[in-house]
Structure 1
Amino acid sequence: MLAEETHMDPQNTDLSANAKMFNQAKTLRLHTGNLVNRSRLKRKCPSSPSEELQDCIKATLTDWFSLPKPTSEDFADTLDCSIPQATDAITPEEREELKVSAKLFLCEPAQSSIREAVEMACQTLAVSQLDSVIIAPPGPPEGDSQTLAHLQPAWEELEALVRCQQIAAIGTSDLDKDLLEQLYNWAQVKPSSNQVNLASCCVMPPDLTAFAKDFDIQLLTHNDPKELMSAAAFQEALQEGTQDLNMANWRLEWVLRYSIIVKSRGIIKAKGYLVSARKVSP
């Protein structure tokens, strides 16, 4: 009597490996790849930066789940969810023609996150230095206003990265004239730019404009919300992207959004997100 032939479902095998990898991991690092080229994301026009990030996390995890997984039972503590063919590595020959800019959104106050994010960006893009980084630190406690003391720890970490030449210029986000002046007078490495959210300010405040002009600080506009991604939105993106694995214990640490611009033509060659999350005790 012939033995009954059995068939393994590759999807179930991959799902089991994926589940084991997520269960073992303590840190999640995700790279969306170049959004300019990713067809899955080009078809949809997000209504906000928050929606764009949520769509990117879902799509990247979905694509990553379709990749072959190792058969080893020894999985790493840090899980790298990136799509190899979607990377934006810059060759040495083209580096001089490109400007690499980033905005770093800190979801938690840990200053080590700044160095981790910048190092991951440099490694991912194959560069030794980012041309500019704008910092968006976590908001102050409920009911408090932002102060210089609140900004100083993050700024000192950025200054250290400038001194070791991993960043060329550093900037701020959503500072009014008084706070920008306080930061400028205190800082060893002066802010080169300050972003202003035109959703809350239709016209640049005259005092901010005058101060920026006097001290050669570039004023930029943006439409990012105060909280780029809520905990609930992050959980939703994880659940949908991981095919409903239990992801309730994962917390977003930081998000770095980068753009690579061709200097001579002023066009965006590449843009994307780097995301870090960590597992917390239930």
Structure 2
Amino acid sequence: MDPNTSVNNTEATMLLSHAKTLRLHTGNLVNRSRLKKKCPGSPSEELRDCIQATLSDWFSTNKPSSKDLPDTLDCFFPEATDAITPEEREEVKVSVKLFLCESGQSSIRDAVEMACRTLAVSQLDSVIIAPPGPLEGDSQSLAHLQPAWEQLEALVRSQQIAAIGTSDLDKDLLEQLYNWAQVKPSSNQVNLASCCVMPPDLTAFAKEFDIQLLTHNDPKELMSAATFQEAMQEGAQGLSVADWRLEWVLRYSIIVKSRGIIKSKGYLVSARKASP
């Protein structure tokens, strides 16, 4: 065994055993030089590859001081930043989709604040929410959506988000949300794997109330707990990660308005160690 590998494993063990939270930033995926698979087959595969590669690179290049073991591990590379300069802010649109894996009350605010800090902006142009799936046997309902939507509304009022949207709502649920919400949804994503053609009733409702219908190919569960732990274990050089849980995943795109091209895209990921 390479002695450096042993040293790195020891240091990684110290970091992971002490930390309570893990925050990870993949950097710009438009340039995929650090990833094994340049053209992943699905969003889930892309995310798995990103977590594994970012953790692996980070643990191999960071050496902690035994006096300074942080409660939060921030795994990112300064050279991979997607920070937006003040000069270019008006020229780009920052679009975000937030996947909540758990129903933590602070998750949405934490994710939005981390995105603003990472991208060096005071406001995200649009945020689409994908809340945690309903319990087994239940269907998604307005009551299931309301807690997350209220948090998004608060972030709109504080001007950290300009517009908020939903994902995979049928016409009835979108109408219920629209009628209840103080800040109305500006968009609704539809998965074309479940319907090849936009449902006519949804199209008519969205047109009447100026809601943009978008398409996506994200699975219902972006990443299972088992897949996350596999990716983390590979990236953390085989260390035990059984007590780590995925909290949320934020995928961002920075789009040049005048040309409609993606300047950069990436993921922010938050995981938390389960309490003993």
Same fold, TM-score > 0.5, yes or no: yes
Query: Residue 71 of structure 2 corresponds to which residue in structure 1?
Result: 77
1:87 CA drift (Å) = 1.0
Q: Match of 1:40, SS?
A: coil
Q: Match of 1:39, SS?
A: coil
1:76 CA drift (Å) = 1.1
1:43 CA drift (Å) = 5.2
1:19 CA drift (Å) = 1.2
Q: Give the Cα–Cα distance (whole angstroms) in 1 for the partners of residues 275 and 20 of structure 2.
A: 10
Structure 1 segments unaligned to the other structure (5+ residues) = 1-7
1:188 CA drift (Å) = 0.4
TM-score by length of 2: 0.97
1:265 CA drift (Å) = 0.6
1:42 CA drift (Å) = 7.6
Partner AA of 2:67 in structure 1 = E
Q: Give the Cα–Cα distance (whole angstroms) in 1 for the partners of residues 163 and 36 of structure 2.
A: 31
TM-score by length of 1: 0.95
1:63/1:83 contact within 8 Å kept: no
Q: Give the Cα–Cα distance (whole angstroms) in 2 for the partners of residues 159 and 236 of structure 1.
A: 35
Q: Deviations over 1:122-168 (max 9, x none)?
A: 00000000000000000111101111111000000000000000000
Q: Say which is worse superposed, 68-77 or 134-143, in terms of deviation.
A: 68-77
Q: Match of 2:95, SS?
A: strand
Q: How does 1:82-97 map to 2 (within 5 A)?
A: 82-97=76-91
Q: Give the Cα–Cα distance (whole angstroms) in 2 for the partners of residues 43 and 54 of structure 1.
A: 11
1:71 CA drift (Å) = 2.1
Structure 2 residue corresponding to 1:192, chosen from 186, 192, 205: 186
- Indicate whether 1:19 and 2:13 are aligned: yes
1:118 CA drift (Å) = 0.2
1:68 CA drift (Å) = 3.2
Partner AA of 2:147 in structure 1 = P
Q: Give the Cα–Cα distance (whole angstroms) in 2 for the partners of residues 243 and 222 of structure 1.
A: 33
Q: Give the Cα–Cα distance (whole angstroms) in 1 for the partners of residues 152 and 182 of structure 2.
A: 11
Partner AA of 2:83 in structure 1 = A
Structure 2 segments unaligned to the other structure (5+ residues) = none
- Indicate whether 1:116 and 2:110 are aligned: yes
- Indicate whether 1:201 and 2:226 are aligned: no
Q: How many pairs are equivalent?
A: 275
Structure 2 residue corresponding to 1:172, chosen from 134, 144, 166: 166
Q: Match of 1:132, SS?
A: strand
1:9 CA drift (Å) = 3.4
Q: Deviations over 1:191-250 (max 9, x none)?
A: 000000000011000000000000000000000000000011101101111110111110
